[in-house]
Amino acid sequence: MLSANQLTCIRNQRILFDELSFELEAGQLMYLTGPNGAGKTTLLRSLVGLQHLQQGQVLLDNMPISDCSEQILYIGHKPAVNEWLSAKQNLAHWFELSGQTADCEMLLNKVGLGGLMDLPVKFLSAGQKRRVALVRMWQSNAKLWVLDEPFTSIDIKGVDVLNQLFLRHKQNGGYVIVTSHQTLPDNLVDRTLNLEYRF
């Protein structure tokens, strides 16, 4: 179980959320919604230990989230790729950092970047850069996927592919937390958490 207990975060003297608690069971997806500025990205970063909380604790399978880095795949709303490296070099670097071996060419072919894998990422479109970042999901062994606007710059076919990946991860007992301005299919969403903008 993923458990968030009494989370409170204050930024620039504004309370984004306070005493927020929720639980997510293995095999479930939580859809995080709310207007721009409500704190969705801050909450996602807090859940994976990248954002300081004034109060609260996050546990994954009864362990502090700070002890579970190998079980977390976090992909932010920016692609987080080195634009001077090629798509293949970016993937090789990510997998080396995680101690994994992977067939980078096969993975890039899966997302339609086969003919572009050796180009510096700076020459790719926004959607292609996004696919370079998202391709890690095909290889991830992490239990918890935390995804901030994964559908940004992705076409309709790509959205469907990502939804199928979410479903497969759920069926394998994984956890998914995702925020998006696009509506997710009803069969994917187990919980919805809406953050309101606080003045």
pLDDT-derived band at 100, boundaries 50, 70, 90: confident
Here the tokens at position 178 are 């995702």
Question: Distance (Å, rounded) from C-alpha 35 to C-alpha 37?
Answer: 6
Domain coordinates in residue numbering, the chain: 2-194
What topology does CATH give the domain 2-194? Rossmann fold (3.40.50)
Q: How confident is the model at residue 84 (pLDDT cuts 50, 70, 90)?
A: very high
pLDDT, the chain, mean: 91
Q: Residue 24: is its pLDDT beyond 90?
A: yes
Q: What is the pTM of this model?
A: 0.92
Amino acid found at 55: Q
What average pLDDT does this structure show over 76-105? Answer: 88
